[in-house]
Amino acid sequence: MAWSAPKTFTVGEIVTAATMNQEVRDNIRYLKGLDGTVQFSAGIESVGVAGYVKVGVLSTANRDALTAAVGMLVYNSDDDRLEKYQAGTWGVV
């Protein structure tokens, strides 16, 4: 299953199991890498007394599907580089 941009539900809209499967379950499976796709995970990791920051790894298409906000960092797996979102565009860190 592939990533699909999350839906914005409206007040009074009827939500079915099929809709929720696509909007929630399939995207969760994608993010977890359960269907052979790239995982997205980020956070602060520790190794003994040392630590590091782990940013999400995304393809250019997956990065562009995000609702980007100033300060976001991603590792672009297509271009093999760390990128930041600033002033309305993605750029190399």
> Does residue 39 contact residue 57 with C-beta atoms inside 8 Å?
yes
Residue pLDDT tens, the chain, 93 long: 566 677 788 899 888 888 887 777 777 776 666 665 555 566 666 667 777 778 888 889 888 988 888 888 999 989 999 999 999 999 999
Which uninterrupted H or E stretch holds 75?
strand 73-76
pLDDT attached to residue 67: 84
Rounded to an integer, what is the distance from CA 38 to the centroid of its chain?
10
Domains in the chain: boundaries: 1-37, 40-92
Describe the strand order of the beta sheet including 56-58 as a list of residue ranges.
56-58, 73-76, 81-86, 89-92
> Does residue 39 contact residue 56 with C-beta atoms inside 8 Å?
no
pLDDT attached to residue 3: 63
User: pTM of the full predicted structure?
Assistant: 0.52
